[in-house]
Amino acid sequence: MSKDPDYFRTVSLKLSEVLSEIGVNEKMVLKRRRMFLLMETMLTTTFSSLHGPTPIYHFGSRSEGSTTNGLNSDIDILVCSEMHVIQDWGEWKPGIQNLLMIKDDATSPGYCLLQRLRDDEPLSLPIPVPEHILDRRFTISGGKWLMKNTFYNIVDIAGSVINGPASSSKGRSGCADQDFVPANNCKSWPVEARPWLVRCGIGGWPTEEMKRYCETTGCFVVPVSSKSGQYEEIEWRISTVQAERCLMFSLNITQIRCYILMKMILKTFINPQCNDVLSSYMCKTVLFHCIQNTISNNWQQTNLLWCLICCLKLLQNFVRQENCPHFMIPENNLVTRRISPRNKQNILEILQNIIQSDGRALLEIPTDDLGRRLQVKMNMDEAFQHVIYQAPAEVSAIISYRLLIDMSTYITSNHQKLLRELMRDENGMMHVTLSNLMFKLTSLYREMDLNSLEKSAFVLLLAPLSSSLGSVIASQDIHMTESISPEALSWLSAGLNSDVSSGKLKLASALYCAGDMERAEFVLRNIEEKYYLNTVEPICGCFSQGAPCLRPEFINKCNSGNEELIKHIIAFCVRFTRYEMCCVPRQLQYEMFRSTQEDILDRDPNTDFWMDWAVVDSLPYLYFLQYKIYGHFHRVADQHWALSNFVAVIDTERNLQHRETALNLLGQCMEQEKRIKDALRCYMISLNIRARNNAAKFHICRLLYVFVNG
């Protein structure tokens, strides 16, 4: 078959079709990039609001759009410090921590040492460093204070483990794992990479315009030393990932598909037999070299197989020479001391077999069913002709729902982090602190371009914060005047479209507590009309409770848009801090005091701080408020209807994250109905779900007191 002159063209086209069907197409690549850039902006805004300017970047395959469901890539999050890294003395700034990138004859190519400079004057004089941090953070060499690459190991990210320079955090079920990499930012282009700016290739890529942009991105230094270096403790790697992202965003779909195929080959054939010695970053480097030294017209769908073989041959050559040169700093060999003689021979044999197979080896790739899909496309095996795969629309929907879940989790988690940090203010002026933050963020928002990506990210972040600020002000109003001021209503209204329900429920809860039952009922009716039970998915950033059981209608709906879908098909949990006490019904206030002294000792302070708040899933809270309001109006039939819905949602909604809180509210409704045994049953089930830090203990004690005093 390979003797057919059209063979390579035919296989390339069929392979392109298969990759498109598993989500490697222009639409899904752009969608992945947009969503991760939005999350990047939100995360940077959150950290910067709390700790000052803190650039945070999402790097790697997910943010580039160069992955598939089956590759299951991690999320690489690079967190920049406030250190000011410079390459010459002219960049020194007073009053901040300056670090000078230096090298000597023993420093590995692509790596540097970081010399701590004085903050008061640009002189190479001794720096006063307290003895208690000297051993952990710095060392003295040649009269210079040098920062250790273990400097950031003292940073603890909740639920993470140290993995080289990264803190690896396990993702929620259905979400990707995250690697948090600390870094110092240098605004100037690395000296070692300056020759790359003038280097030319056959393909005219990268363009001069791209190189000029890359030069403006500077570089990062990350805390990891070279495997062949002499400075294991003080060497830092120079990273050009931001410039590399620019290059990745410039690639056409055939080049991206070629990169993904290389990663699949690594995962299927090479790394399982060779101890993971080759990385996807090496594949990316190979791709860059190939594109630079190949005529640009060759990178077309009809040439995909030929392009892949060219890349594999170059990778084979790099392994044979035991030298994979970094694309921008060629002196930096990415495979130094990584490949043993035995692994080298295995890799060379595997690559040679794949190259000589003229694409047939791809039929053995199980990732995303690529091999079997290709066999069907090529009509090579009748046994596979009737195999049912996920349709392209279904694959796209799955990618889209995962992106939307990630995005929604980012929004609610960042909202939670902001509230937690703002509440650390010992003066207790939550209203003022939150108002100042909102003023700062809204000012930044107004300065942005109308259609900018940053503006979209700010809208997603500002909405839940607006609801919180409105609720804090309303709580003060209700305490003082038993009514809600126009200022509070304005902020609550600004947060109505944060999602389907939580912003509106904050407003309804405030109106209920202020005694404005008619307007509260109107808001609840509006929520119920828009909360489609077969489509809307509850999302909570408090903790993970296993793999979500997602609705098919929700997954299909995710394919119809981007982040704007959040206000139509996502329901965040409703959270009230203690500063919002007067906007919280008495029955829910118990949740703010759920923990005994013994329970508090059982809590993780990094993740369980929300237990001092009242937090409830949207749908149960909707039915609870309806039950209370219909009772106020003596609409008995409607009240029982709301109670029936309340019971049903607890029994049938599989993705409730605060089920124990819903049961505690239901139990108190049962008490109001004089169904004491049912109430006690609700509290006992609640306690079985969460044995500690559960207000059910107090409710059970109350009921026992009633029984004893009959």
Q: What is the pLDDT of residues 456-488, one digit of tens each?
A: 999 999 999 999 999 999 999 999 999 999 999
- On the question of a cis peptide bond just before residue 206, with omega within 30 degrees of 0, the verdict is yes
Average pLDDT over residues 215-229: 92
Q: What percent of the chain has pLDDT over 90?
A: 72
CB atoms within 10 A of CB 654: 13
Q: Is the pLDDT of residue 134 over 80?
A: no
Mean model confidence pLDDT for the chain:
90
Close Cβ partners of 675 (under 8 Å, ≥ 6 residues apart) = none
What's phi and psi for 180, nearest 5 deg?
-95, 115
Q: Is 698 exposed, middle or buried (0-12, 13-18, 19+ CB in 10 A)?
A: middle
**Which amino acid, residue 405?**
I
Grade residue 547 by pLDDT with cuts at 50, 70 and 90: low
Q: Is the pLDDT of residue 85 over 60?
A: yes
> Three-state SS for 1?
coil
DSSP per-residue codes, 320-336 = HHT--B-SS-TTSBTTT
Q: Are residues 54 and 47 in contact, defined by beta-carbon separation less than 8 angstroms? A: yes
**Over the range 280-315, which residues count as b (16 or more CB within 10 Å of their CB) and which as e?**
bebbbbbbbbbbbebeeebbbbbbbbbbbbbbbebb
**Which amino acid, residue 60?**
G
Per DSSP, 570 falls in state E
Question: Which one has a higher pLDDT value, 256 or 228?
Answer: 256
Average pLDDT over residues 101-122: 90
DSSP per-residue codes, 198-223 = H---TT--S-HHHHHHHHHT-EEEES
Average pLDDT over residues 259-268: 98
Give the model's pLDDT for residue 578.
Answer: 95
Query: Lowest-confidence range among 92-106, 201-215, 418-432?
Result: 418-432
Grade residue 383 by pLDDT with cuts at 50, 70 and 90: low
Q: Which run of H or E residues covers position 241?
A: helix 241-249
Question: Which one has a higher pLDDT value, 157 or 552?
Answer: 552
Q: Is the pLDDT of residue 161 over 50?
A: no
Q: Are residues 264 and 24 in contact, defined by beta-carbon separation less than 8 angstroms? A: no
Question: Which one has a higher pLDDT value, 443 or 349?
Answer: 349
Q: Is the pLDDT of residue 668 over 80?
A: yes
Give the model's pLDDT for residue 172.
Answer: 47
Q: Is the pLDDT of residue 111 over 80?
A: yes
Cα 438 from Cα 445, distance rounded (Å)? 10
Grade residue 290 by pLDDT with cuts at 50, 70 and 90: very high
Grade residue 18 by pLDDT with cuts at 50, 70 and 90: very high
Grade residue 135 by pLDDT with cuts at 50, 70 and 90: low
| Per-residue tokens: 312 | 């594999």
Give the model's pLDDT for residue 163.
Answer: 44
Give the model's pLDDT for residue 157.
Answer: 46
Cα 162 from Cα 123, distance rounded (Å)? 36
What are the C-alpha distances in Å from 48 to residues 44, 55, 158, 236, 702? 6, 7, 19, 25, 46
Grade residue 673 by pLDDT with cuts at 50, 70 and 90: very high
Give the model's pLDDT for residue 5.
Answer: 63
Strands 98-102 and 111-116, sheet pairing? antiparallel
Give the model's pLDDT for residue 164.
Answer: 45
Q: What percent of the chain has pLDDT over 70?
A: 91
Strands 570-572 and 537-539, sheet pairing? parallel
Over the stretch 166-217, which tens digit does the pLDDT of each residue have?
545 555 444 456 778 999 999 999 999 999 999 988 888 999 999 999 999 9
**619-710 is a CATH 1.10.760 domain:** no
Query: Lowest-confidence range among 69-83, 267-281, 436-450, 538-552?
Result: 538-552
| Per-residue tokens: 223 | 């805390």
DSSP per-residue codes, 55-84 = -EEEESHHHHT---TTT-PPEEEEEE-S-E
Top-confidence range, 214-228, 229-243, 622-636: 622-636
* Alpha-carbon dihedral sign for residues 658, 660, 661, 665: positive
pTM of structure: 0.90
Give the model's pLDDT for residue 153.
Answer: 72
Give the model's pLDDT for residue 158.
Answer: 43
Average pLDDT over residues 384-409: 85
Average pLDDT over residues 245-265: 98
Cα 312 from Cα 295, distance rounded (Å)? 17
Give the model's pLDDT for residue 3.
Answer: 53
Give the model's pLDDT for residue 431.
Answer: 87
